[in-house]
């Protein structure tokens, strides 16, 4: 099956005022995110939260990503270039109308090309359908490129062997991988030279994460092509249930 989704637009976001989490979630879930979906090239979008329990389970958390409270992922289709321009322009218009949250900081934000998609056989749906299937959370790995000469070999290992091992972990429904690319250099976002792997979970992220820590250890320990800058679980956000940081 051909995947209509070409790009994942990520945002790893910190809320800079601890009292603003509820207001931020209300704004993003009820105002900001719905306005993106009428754009022709935005196929889907979802947000997840790094609750205090999720943050405590991270096995990699370099600055500035260590400050992440939330991750947003929009899935975008052709025409990618026009979609990104319209996406950026819409953000500017909403900001000019006062419809933007001031107490937030995006530590990694921008478009990444879809590299690979896979689904666990038990879930039955196609790999392309995994993001649309209900989930309880995600496990996310961000890799910074260290040695491009070794990147192709690392990528082959990920796609041919490692992703299969991740899919064998109970609770993992599917795996998608993304990478920065030259095609986005004319756009205003600076994503560096990175790769992002997202594992969609249909079991409790806090229960699945320790198993994924173990299976994903070779990527963190025996990899000269990239450095793992972030690795850990995030929970699915349920509308109007935004109390994780109220304490």
Q: Which CATH architecture has domain 5-236?
A: 2-Layer Sandwich (3.30)
Closest CA to 65 of 246, 234, 199: 234
> What are the domain boundaries of the chain?
5-236
pLDDT tens profile 164-183: 999 999 999 999 999 997 77
pLDDT tens profile 101-160: 989 999 999 999 999 999 999 999 999 999 999 999 999 999 999 999 999 999 999 999
CA within 13 Å, CB half, 211: 16
pLDDT tens profile 60-80: 999 999 999 999 999 999 999
77-86: average pLDDT: 94
Closest CA to 27 of 96, 82, 98: 98
Partners of 172 in the β-ladder? 201
118 vs 190, more confident: 118
CA within 13 Å, CB half, 125: 13
185 vs 113, more confident: 113
Instruction: Please enumerate, as own/partner, the contacts of 211-214 that have beta carbons within 8 Å and a separation of 24 or more.
Output: 211/169, 211/170, 211/171, 212/139, 212/166, 212/169, 212/172, 213/57, 213/59
Cα maximum dimension of the chain: 49
Q: Is the dihedral of CA 246, 110, 7, 149 positive or negative?
A: negative
Q: Is 108 exposed, middle or buried (0-12, 13-18, 19+ CB in 10 A)?
A: buried
Q: How many residues does the chain have?
A: 247
């Amino acid at each position: 099956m051909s995947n209509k989704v070409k790009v994942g637009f990520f945002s790893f976001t910190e809320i800079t005022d601890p009292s603003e989490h509820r207001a931020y979630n209300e704004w993003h879930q009820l105002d900001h995110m719905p306005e993106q979906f009428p754009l022709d090239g935005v196929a889907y979008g979802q947000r997840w939260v790094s609750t205090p329990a999720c943050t405590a389970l991270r096995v990699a958390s370099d600055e500035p990503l260590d400050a992440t409270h939330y991750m947003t992922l929009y899935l975008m289709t052709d025409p990618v270039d026009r979609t990104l321009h319209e996406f950026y322009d819409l953000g500017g218009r909403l900001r000019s109308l006062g419809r933007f949250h001031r107490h937030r900081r995006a530590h990694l934000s921008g478009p990444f090309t879809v590299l690979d998609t896979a689904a666990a056989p038990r879930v039955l749906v196609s790999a392309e359908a995994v993001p649309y299937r209900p989930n309880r959370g995600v496990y996310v790995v961000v890799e910074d490129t260290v040695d491009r000469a070794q990147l192709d070999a690392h990528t082959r290992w990920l796609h041919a062997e490692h992703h299969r091992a991740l899919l064998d972990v109970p609770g993992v429904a599917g795996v998608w991988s993304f990478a920065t690319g030259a095609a986005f250099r004319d756009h205003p976002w600076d994503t560096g030279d990175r790769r992002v792997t997202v594992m969609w979970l249909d079991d409790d992220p806090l229960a699945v994460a320790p198993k994924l820590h173990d299976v994903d250890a070779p990527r963190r320990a025996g990899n000269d092509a990239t450095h793992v800058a972030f690795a850990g679980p995030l929970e699915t956000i349920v509308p109007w249930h935004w109390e994780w940081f109220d304490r």
